[in-house]
Structure 1
Amino acid sequence: MGRIREPHGAPVLLVVSFLLSALCFSQAKSELRSSALLGDPLLANLSACHHSFTDANRPAYCCPPRRDIDQRLVQFDLSKLSQTQKRVRRAVHHLDADFIAKYQKAVAIMKSLPSDHPHSFFRQANNHCLYCTGSYDQVNSSSLFKIHRSWLFFPWHRAFLFFHERILGKLIGDETFALPYWSWDTPEGMQIPEIFARGVLSDGERDEAHLPPTIANLNYNKEASVRPSDEQVKVNLAFMHKQMVSGAKKRELFLGCKVTAGEEGFCDGPGTVEGAPHNTLHSWVGSGVNPEREDMGAFYSAAKDPIFYAHHSNIDRLWEVWKELREGKDADFEEHAWLESAFTFYDENLRFVRIKVRDLLDTHKLGYEYEEIPLPWVNAKPKPTASSAASIKKRKSGSLLSRRAVMEKERALVSSVTFEVYRPKRGRSKEEKEREEEIIVVEGIRVKRDVYAKFDVFVNLGAEEEKIAGPLVREFAGSFVNTPHGSRRIGETEGKMGKKGTTLKLGISELLDDLGADEDESIWVSLVPRGGSGVFMTVDGVRIEFLR
C-alpha cells in the first residue's frame, strides 16, 4: 500500500476515522462474500437411488426396498434425546464375558431380521454402501452425494454408529448398550480382537495372514510385513504421532477438505486419519483373494464385516482425542455449509430421521463417552536419519528433477519422484507458525482404476533410503492411500470432478523445525509409490502453501 496523504484542510482524525470505517465495511463485505462463495450444505436427493457396478464389473445395488423419499421424515432434535444413563464405549480388550455375550446376542438378533427390515444387519451394512458409492445425487444437482475424502467423513460415520448402537440396544432391551472400540492405536489392541474371530461377530472374508497374533500395520501397503512384532508396534506409534499430533495441527488437515453442494463445491482431500490408518486398516483386514479385498477392503462391502463397527468406533474416539489434544481450540469448523449438511437414518424406533452435522459435535449431548486408555503415541516422535544432511547436499549437487510447483503434464509414479520445492516464507516466528501451518500440497492425484494405491511422502530424505524408510524416520511427512470405492454408477463417465483429481495436504511446520530446515529456501519432496501401485497413479505437481 502507498502512503495516505492528508487532504487539504481536513483534520487527520476525521480522515483516519473515515478510512477505518471504510476498511471495516470492506472487510465485512469480503467476509460475507467469502462465506457465500464457500457454497451450500449437502443433502441427498432421496427421490432416486442408482444401480451401480463394482470395479470388477459385478452388480452392487445398495438401495432400500422402499424409497426413502416416500417415508415420513423427522428432523432429529438433540434437546429431546431420551437417555437416562450415559453409554460408555469400552476398548475391546477390556470387555468381560457378560458384555461379549450381550453384544453377540444383539448382533444375532439383528442378523435374524428380514433383509428388508431397516434394523436388519443387511440394511445396516448397505447404509454405508449407499453413501460411500454415490447411490444418491445431491439435492438440486447431478453431483454424487458421498461422505468419504472430505469434512463429511467424521460426522457421517458418527451418525451411523450412533443409530446403529441404539438399535442394537433396543433389540436386547438395554438402553445403556454401547459399541466397543478396537484400539489399534495402542500396543494392547494392535491385533484383530479374538471376539471377532468366531460366531456372529466373525467374517469369512478376511486376510488369513493378518489374523492373530499378527500385529496390524497401520501404514499397510499390500506388501507382506517382515518386521518383528515389537518393531511394528514402534512403527505404528510413530505413525499415529504423525497423523494425530505433528501433522494434524489444523482442522482441514485432520477433518478433510471443505466439500459443498454442486459440481462447483467438489473437493477430494481426506484428512490425516481418514487416509491412514482408516483406509489402510480397511485394506489390511480385507481378504487378499478377493478382487477388491472384500469385505473390509472395499467401501461398498466394508460394513458387512462386524469388525467395521469397532474399527469406526475407534475412529470416532480419535476425533474426540484430537479435540482434547487441542484443548477445544479451533476444533470444529464454523462454516454454515458444514454445520447444516445432513444425513438420513432409521432410528431405534423405526423413525426415518434427518440429522445435521451441528447435532453431532458433542458426544456427551449424544449420550455416550469413551473409556479412557493410555496414548503412548503422543510422545512417539521419531528422529531424523543420520545421513539426511549429507544426502541433501548430494542431491543439490546433482541434477534437478523439478523446480516447478506444477508440471506441464501429469507425472506417473512408476518409481519414486523427487521435487525441489521453493518455500515462499522462511524463518517464521512461533506465533506465525501457530497462526499458519506450512503444508505440502500434492495436487491432481489420479488413480487410473478404482484400486488400492498408495505412496509415501518424505522431506529431505536421501534417495538410497526411500525404499526402506517409513514412519520411524522424521523425514516422513505422510501418505496418500486410495481404497476402492467399490462402485460406480451404470453408464457413468469421468466428468469435470473426476478430472480434478485428489489433493493431499500434509502439515510440515514442526517437521522442518526438527530437520533444521526452517531457514532453507527450498526442500526436497519425494513421492515413493508402495506395493507396486505406482503404475496406476499420476500427479500434477507439488507446492507449498500456508493454512490458517
Structure 2
Amino acid sequence: MGQHVQLAAAVLLVFLLTARWYSDDLRELVEDGPRVGHLLLQTVYGLVWRPSVDVRAGDYGVGYPLAANLSACHPSFTDANRPTNCCPLRRDADQRVIDFELPKLVQSPLRVRRAAHLLNNEYIAKYQRAVAIMKSLPSDHPHSFFRQANNHCLYCTGSYDQVNSSFLFKIHRSWLFFPWHRAFLFFHERILGKLIGDDTFALPYWNWDNPDGMVMPEFVNEGALNNEQRDYTHLPSNVADLNYHVGEIRRQPEQQVAVNLAFMYHQMVSGAKKPDLFLGCKLTAGPEGACNGPGTIEGAPHNTLHTWVGSGLNPERENMGAFYSAARDPIFYPHHANIDRLWEVWRKLRESAVPDFTESAWLDSSFTFYDENLRFVRIKVRDCLDIAKLGYAYQNIDLPWLQARPKPAVSPEIARNILKKKEAMDRLLTPANLIREAAFFGNQERALESTVRVKLHRSRRSRSQAEKADEEEALVVYGIRVKGDTYAKFDVFVNLVADEETTGPLAREFAGTFVNMPRGARRVPPESSQSDVLMKKTLKLGISELLEDLEADQDDTVWVSLVPRGGTGVNITVEGVRIEFVR
C-alpha cells in the first residue's frame, strides 16, 4: 500500500512540475533555457505531453504547431557511417529571436524570379558574384554558403528536437515541406542581394517542367555555381528525367520530353486535386502528430531530380542525392525555386479562395533563420503564404503539361477482358488459400522483390462530378518501410496489362510513384521508436480522373500493381493498399 502511495505521489509531483514548466510565465525558459530543462521534460515525456503554444486560441483540431528546440542540436552519422554535424558553431539558442515582419513594399517593385534558361549574361554574372562572396565568408558566419547549406541539413535530418519534446523536428514528407523551403529561399535570396548591394536581386528557377528548361542550366557548371559532386552523364545537353530511377531507361530527347510532360500533368493535376495530396500529410507536434507522407511534387520531381543530379560515384549520391548534403550544391536553390513556383501554379489551378489548410497547427508552425541584417528571425507558415507580400513574383512561362493528359496504354475494354482471363487462370493454377485479393498483407509485410498485384474492392462507384469535387478517390499504399533509409523507388499502376518494365507516365494506367531519398543522417544515439529507418511511410495518390479515363469508374474492383524500379525493391516492404476519399 505504501509503495502505491509513494508512486501516486511521485506521479502527482511530476505532473505539478510539468504544469509549472508549461505555465505562461516560464514557457520562454523551457523553450530557450538550459539543457537540464529539456532533459527533465524528456524524463516526464511518457507521462505528460503538453504543447509549446497557447491553446486557448486557434483551431488545433489535428494537433499542435511545431517549432525547433534550438538548444537541442545533435551530431549525426551518414547512412554510410561517416560522421556529420550540421549544428552551428555558435549556438542558435544563445541568439535573441525576433518575430518576422513582412517587408514594407510601398513603392518597391516585386523582385522577379526568372527562368534559368532565359537569363542574360549580366544576370548570370551578378548571381555568380553573389555566390562567390557568400562562399568566401568564414564558415561560422550566418551568411556563409557553409551555414546556408547546413540550414537545410538542420531541419531535414532531425538535428533539432521539437520544442518541449524528445521527438525530432523534420520538415520533409509532410505539409511543412513547401513553406519551410519557401522561407529558406526567401532569406537566402535576401542575403545574396545584400552581399552585392542589390535589393532587386532574385533567384532564378530551373524551369525543368518546360521543354526549353529540361536541361541542366549551363551556367551552374561554371564558376562559383559549379559543383563537382554531380552525375557527369546528366550534364548538358542531357534532358532531365523527372521520374528518374537508378538504372534508368535512356530515351531520345523528344521522347523524354513527352514523358516528362505527361508526368507533370499527373503530379500537378490529376493526382493532386486536394491539399493533402499535393502538400503532404499533417505533421504536428509530439508523438501523436508524427506522419511520413509526402505530397505528389515532393516525391517527384523533387526527390527524383535530387537523385538525378547527385553523383552516382558517392555512396548516397551526394551532394544533391542526400538530404544532409543537398544544399551544398548551388543548383539546389534554382531547383527549389521551381518547386516553390509550382506551389503557386497549383494554387492558381485550384481556383479556390480557400487556403491550402486552415488549421493553426500548420499556420503557426515556425522556423528560424538569419536575415540579411544578421537578425535571428522566427517565421511562421502563415507568413509564407502570399509571395507578393514577401516581395517577389515569378516570370510567367507556358505550362505545356496542362495539355499532356495521358491516354491508356491498352484499350480499357481489352484490358478488362485480359484482367478477367488472367484472374480466372490464377484461380485455376493457384490454391484458393494463396489467392490474394485482399489489399492487407496480414502480419507479414510484403517485400517488393518483384511486382506485387492486389485486387481492391471499391465501396463507392459512379459518383457525380459534384461528389468527386467534394471528395477525391485516392489510392493509399501504407506501412511502407525502406531498409536502412537507402534510395528506393516503385511505381504504382491501375489495371495495368502492358509491359510493366517499359510502361511509365505516358500511360494513363500510371497512378504515381514512391521515391525514398536518403536523409543521409541519423541521430546519435539512434532512437528506434521514432527513427526514420523504422518509421513507416504512406503514399497517397488521387485517382478519380484516372478511373474515368480507364473507363473503370463504375467497376466494383480495380487491380493495383506496385512495380519496383532500379533493383531497389529488395529494400522495400509494404503492409497494404486501400482506397480512401480525401476532402
TM-score by length of structure 2 reads 0.86
Q: Which of 510, 513, 523 is the matching residue for 1:476?
A: 510
411-420 vs 330-339, which moves further: 330-339
Q: Is the 8 A contact 2:473 2:581 kept in 1?
A: yes
Q: Which residue does 1:205 correspond to in 2? A: 229
One-letter amino acid matched to 1:394: K
Residue from 392, 396, 419 that aligns with 1:372: 396
1:15-164 alignment, distance < 5 Å: 36-78=60-102, 80=104, 84-164=108-188
Q: Is the 8 A contact 1:83 1:367 kept in 2?
A: no
2:244 corresponding residue in structure 1: 220
TM-score by length of 1: 0.92
Structure 1, 392-401 or 334-343: larger mean CA deviation: 392-401
Pair 1:543–1:83, CA change in 2 (3 A): farther
Contact 1:251 1:330 in 2 (8 A): no
| Post-superposition offset of 1:471 | 0.1
Aligned to 1:428, which of 450, 459, 463?
463
Q: Deviations over 1:97-120 (max 9, x none)?
A: 111111111001000000100000
Query: How big is the shift at 1:62?
Result: 0.5
Deviations 1:178-222 (A, max 9, x none): 000000001001111000111111100000110111110000011
Shift of 1:396: 2.8
393-402 or 502-511, larger mean C-alpha shift: 393-402
Within-5 A mapping of 1:303-322: 303-322=327-346
Are 2:376 and 1:352 equivalent residues in the alignment?
A: yes
Compared CA separation, residues 496 and 106, structure 1 to 2 (3 A): closer
User: Retained in 1: the 8 A contact 2:494–2:560?
Assistant: yes
AA aligned opposite 2:456:
V
The answer to whether residue 512 in structure 2 is matched with residue 512 in structure 1 is: no
Q: Which runs of 5+ in 2 are unaligned?
A: 1-55, 428-434
Q: Which residue pairs with 1:489 in the alignment? A: 523
Cα deviation, residue 395, structure 1: 3.0
Structure 1: runs of 5 or more not aligned: 1-31
Conserved 8 A contact 2:103-2:390: no
Kept after mapping to 2: 8 A contact 1:93/1:188: yes
Query: Contact between 2:61 and 2:359, CA under 8 Å: does it hold in 1?
Result: no
Q: Does 1:294 align with 2:329?
A: no
Q: In the alignment, residue 448 of structure 1 is paired with which amino acid?
A: K
Residue 416 (structure 2) aligns with: 389
Deviation at 1:385, TM superposition (A): 1.7
Match 2:571 to one of 530, 536, 540:
536
With over 3 angstroms needed to count, the CA separation of the structure-2 counterparts of 1:228 and 1:468, relative to structure 1, is: same
Aligned residue for 1:369, secondary structure, equals strand
Q: CA RMSD in A?
A: 1.6
Q: Alpha-carbon deviation of 1:172?
A: 0.5
Whole-angstrom distance in 2 between the partners of 1:207 and 1:388: 39
Contact 1:89/1:369, CA 8 A, preserved across alignment = yes
> 2: distance between equivalents of 1:392 and 1:517?
12
Give secondary structure in 1 for the equivalent of 2:300.
helix
* Matching residue of 1:457: 492
Q: Cα offset for 1:388?
A: 2.6
Code of the aligned partner of 1:517:
A
**C-alpha distance in 1 between matches for 2:260 and 2:254:** 10
SS at match of 1:444: strand
1:231-254 deviation digits (Å, cap 9, x = unpaired): 000000000000000100000000
User: Per the alignment, in what secondary structure is the counterpart of residue 47 of structure 1?
Assistant: strand
Contact 2:187–2:369 under 8 Å retained in 1:
yes
Q: Is the 8 A contact 1:426 1:521 kept in 2?
A: yes
Inter-partner Cα distance in structure 2 for 1:103 and 1:252: 35
1:280 to 2:304 alignment: yes
Q: What one-letter code is carried by the residue in structure 1 that aligns with 2:421?
A: K
Structure 1's 83 and 48: CA in aligned 2 closer, same or farther, altered over 3 A? farther
Matching residue of 1:230: 254
Distance between the aligned counterparts of 1:456 and 1:269, measured in 2? 16
CA contact (8 A) 1:235 1:471 kept: yes
1:77 to partner: Cα distance: 1.5
Give the Å deviation of 1:331: 4.6
Corresponding residue pairs, total: 516
SS of equivalent to 1:465: coil
Instruction: Give the deviation of 1:81 after TM superposition.
Output: 6.7
Q: Distance in 2 between the 1:339 and 1:420 partners?
A: 39
Query: Which residue of 414, 431, 439 corresponds with 2:449?
Result: 414
Question: CA deviation digits over 1:382-438, x for unaligned, max 9?
Answer: 111225333322333233652223221210000000000111111111100000000
1:248 paired with 2:283, answer: no
SS state of the match for residue 274, structure 1? helix
User: Is the 8 Å Cα contact of residues 165 and 177 (structure 1) preserved in structure 2?
Assistant: yes
Bigger shift: residues 96-105 or 388-397: 388-397
Segments of 4+ moved more than 6 angstroms: none
* Corresponding position of 1:399: 426
Give 1:50 shift: 0.2
Q: What do residues 431-479 of structure 1 show as CA deviations (whole Å, max 9, x unaligned)?
A: 00000000001000000112110000000001x5212110000000000
Q: Equivalents in 2 of 1:83, 1:243: separation in Å?
A: 38
d(CA) in 2 for partners of 1:143, 1:450: 18
SS of alignment partner, residue 292 of structure 1: coil
- 2-structure distance, mates of 1:226, 1:36: 48
CA distance in 2, matches of 1:79, 1:202: 32
Q: Is the 8 Å Cα contact of residues 266 and 497 (structure 1) preserved in structure 2?
A: no
Residue 165 of structure 1 aligns with an amino acid whose one-letter code is E
Shift of 1:481: 0.2
Contact in 1 for aligned 2:103/2:391 (Cα 8 Å): no
2: distance between equivalents of 1:410 and 1:169? 51
> In 1, Cα distance between the equivalents of 2:331 and 2:305?
11
One-letter amino acid matched to 1:446: R
- Cα displacement (A) at 1:84: 2.1
Q: Secondary structure at the match of 2:561?
A: strand
Match of 1:183 among 178, 183, 207: 207
- 1:114-136 CA-to-partner distances (Å, cap 9, x unmatched) read 01000000000000000000000
Please state whether the residue corresponding to 1:512 is helix, strand or coil: helix
CA distance 1:154–1:293, change in 2 (3 Å) = same
Bigger drift between 338-347 and 319-328 goes to: 319-328
Which residue in the other structure is 1:525 paired with? 560
Q: 1:28 matched to which residue of 2? A: none
Kept after mapping to 1: 8 A contact 2:161/2:169: yes
In 1: Cα distance, 2:564 partner to 2:240 partner: 20
Equivalent residues of 1:134, 1:144 under 8 A apart: yes
Alignment of 1:1-16 (within 5 A): none
In structure 1, how many angstroms separate the alpha carbons of the residues matched to 2:355 and 2:277? Answer: 11
CA distance in 1, matches of 2:307, 2:561: 24
CA gap 1:331/1:522 in 2 versus in 1, 3 angstroms: farther
What is the CA distance between 1:493 and its match in structure 2? Answer: 3.6
Q: Contact 2:60/2:359 (CA < 8 Å) preserved in 1?
A: no
Task: Write the distance in 2 (CA, Å) between the matches of 1:198 and 1:80.
Answer: 35
Once the 2 structures are TM-superposed, how far is the Cα of residue 224 of structure 1 from its aligned partner?
3.5
Contact 1:251 1:331 in 2 (8 A): no
